[in-house]
């Protein structure tokens, strides 16, 4: 198991993280220069059901770069003053949660050439629909999950009990504020049943949305962006202590722009607490591979750290 502190990016960046205390209460914190700091108050009334991150996201609308700089300065000031009441002890391994509360998670599909090829490979009807959507003006966008179905670093991700061909799809995930401005990035893992979607593309919701069908983490790197950051994505899978798959890609292979996906996601949708978007995968294991219960998945994205998850059957 990769320790969560090691899993977080060691660069001088600001990351929002969620972790559980021994009581089960989930707390939020900001990771900066090797320390966890309690999020500063925004000065706005906070509903009891709203997370600190959701409240902060609302204050970033129209001013994302400035909002991130201000937050980083507040964190640095607290660390400089060594405010004991603001700093936190590092939580134990296994306590990390996905960096979301009331945000939904959506996904974009067939955004890499490799994804298009894999979908055509698994489709029983030849997969012409995937070739068409890869070139179409409108991208494929689908609902993926929420805090109930998304796990964090160290969590268990699921493969369906009624599926016999399953893969993990490592992806760059974008956090948008309520105005659909990119505020940050994290590592996403989209669990998917190739047998169910391959049988009929209309079964995609069943292939993609179920308990423990997604992982995010370990934290979300706060970074304003209007274009894709230059990121290298790698994934390896271990089984009984042996590596059985390894693959890599990079965001330069994305066929859709950040603005394009954000614009289509926001159409007829309102996200008052912000939203995550998984941006598609360029890494798909070969057709003869399927996940097994007990496999360990290691996902890493340059500058964002690493995400480790164990496979269970759900």
List, in order of start, the domains of the chain with CATH numbers: 4-95 (no CATH), 97-313 (3.90.850.10)
Per-residue pLDDT at 126 exceeds 90: no
- Alpha carbon distances (Å) from 274 to 43, 180, 213, 246, 281: 19, 7, 20, 33, 22
Per-residue pLDDT at 194 exceeds 80: yes
Per-residue pLDDT at 247 exceeds 80: yes
38 contacts 86 by C-beta, under 8 angstroms: yes
175 contacts 148 by C-beta, under 8 angstroms: no
Per-residue pLDDT at 74 exceeds 70: yes
Of all residues in the chain, the percent with pLDDT exceeding 70 is 86
152 contacts 31 by C-beta, under 8 angstroms: no
164 contacts 195 by C-beta, under 8 angstroms: yes
Q: Determine the pLDDT at residue 230.
A: 97
> Confidence class of residue 125 from pLDDT cuts 50, 70 and 90?
low
Question: How large is the average pLDDT for residues 285-298?
Answer: 96
Per-residue pLDDT at 10 exceeds 80: no
Q: Determine the pLDDT at residue 214.
A: 98
Per mean pLDDT, which of 2-6, 105-109, 117-121 is the most reliable?
105-109
Residues with Cβ < 8 Å from 137, sequence gap 6 or more? Answer: none
Q: How many helices (H) and strands (E) does the chain have?
A: 8, 17
- Reported pTM: 0.92
Q: H helices within the chain, ranges in order?
A: 4-7, 52-59, 64-81, 113-122, 128-135, 194-199, 204-208, 258-266
Dihedral sign, Cα of residue 91, residue 97, residue 101, residue 106: positive
- Crossing angle between the packed helical segments 128-135 and 113-122, to the nearest 10 degrees: 160
């Amino acid at each position: 198991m990769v320790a969560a502190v090691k899993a977080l990016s060691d660069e001088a960046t600001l990351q929002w993280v969620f972790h559980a205390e021994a009581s089960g209460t989930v707390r939020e914190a900001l990771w900066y220069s090797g320390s966890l700091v309690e999020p500063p108050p925004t000065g706005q009334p906070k509903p009891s059901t709203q997370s600190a991150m959701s409240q902060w996201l609302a204050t970033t609308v129209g001013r994302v770069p400035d909002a991130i700089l201000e937050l980083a300065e507040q964190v640095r000031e607290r660390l400089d003053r060594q405010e004991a009441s603001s700093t936190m002890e590092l939580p134990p391994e296994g306590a990390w949660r996905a960096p979301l509360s009331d945000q939904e998670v959506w996904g974009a599909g067939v955004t890499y050439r490799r994804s298009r090829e894999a979908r055509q490979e698994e489709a029983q009807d030849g997969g012409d629909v995937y070739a068409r959507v890869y070139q179409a003006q409108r991208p494929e966008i689908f609902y993926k999950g929420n805090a109930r179905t998304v796990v964090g670093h160290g969590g268990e991700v699921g493969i369906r009990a009624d599926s016999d061909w399953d893969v993990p799809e490592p992806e760059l995930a974008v956090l948008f504020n309520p105005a659909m401005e990119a505020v940050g990035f994290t590592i996403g893992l989209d669990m998917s049943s190739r047998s169910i979607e391959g049988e009929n593309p209309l079964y995609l919701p069943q292939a993609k949305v179920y308990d423990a069908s997604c992982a995010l983490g370990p934290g979300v790197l706060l970074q304003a962006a209007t274009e894709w950051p230059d990121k290298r994505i790698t994934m390896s899978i271990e089984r009984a202590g042996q590596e059985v798959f390894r693959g890599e890609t990079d965001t330069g292979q994305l066929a859709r722009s950040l603005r394009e996906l954000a614009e289509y996601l926001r159409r007829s949708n309102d996200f008052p607490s912000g939203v995550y978007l998984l941006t598609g995968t360029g890494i798909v294991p070969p057709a003869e591979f399927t996940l097994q219960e007990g496999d360990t998945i290691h996902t890493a994205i340059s500058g964002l750290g690493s995400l480790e998850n164990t496979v269970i059957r759900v």
